[in-house]
Amino acid sequence: MPRPKGSKRAPKSLKQRRNITEAIAAKWADPEYRDRVCSGLAKYHGIPSGAKRKRKRKPTSKTQSKQILSKRKACDTNYSPANETISPIEQVRIRRRNKPLYKDPMISSKLEMLKNIRAQRAPEETKKTKLLKEQDF
């Protein structure tokens, strides 16, 4: 029997949804609450307090991503680790980000070699299957 789609909860009325929205808006309007939440998120994600956030944009082409990388390298040379302490979580993130993307220069020749090996093995496999069929009869 197929499971029914959707949640099992009863739908909320328009009035209930409005009340919830107003309560959430009132909470976020309180600067003390906002600071608590933002500092907690920053601590969880390992972002130093008072750090400016850069908006992430999806590169539309490879040329743009290369330009961004060159800009990052230029910024990294000016960076001094003595200015701020980096949390262990952030260090792990930086290590992950800085891993070199290895592209094998011999990949095309290796692929060609694999194709040749498969082409050589195919006739042998057909011979084996024919022999097995003959033995069965």
Would 40 be classed as within a structural domain? yes
CB proximity list for 94: less than 8 A, separation 6 or greater: 86
Question: Is 6 part of a structural domain of the chain?
Answer: no
Query: Higher model confidence: residue 121 or residue 99?
Result: 121
Q: Which two tokens stand for residue 26?
A: 């009132």
**Whether residue 5 has pLDDT greater than 80:** no
Q: What is the residue range of 137's domain? A: 106-137
| Total domains in the fold of the chain | 2
Average pLDDT, the chain: 80
Among 4-13, 47-56, 127-136, which is the least confidently predicted range?
47-56
Q: What percent of the chain has pLDDT over 90?
A: 36
Residue 1: inside a domain: no
| Whole-structure pTM value | 0.33
Report the pLDDT averaged over residues 36-50.
85
85 inside domain: no
Please report whether residue 88 resides in a domain: no
* CB < 8 Å & 24+ apart, contacts of 92-97: 93/46
Q: Give a yes or no: residue 93 inside a domain.
A: no
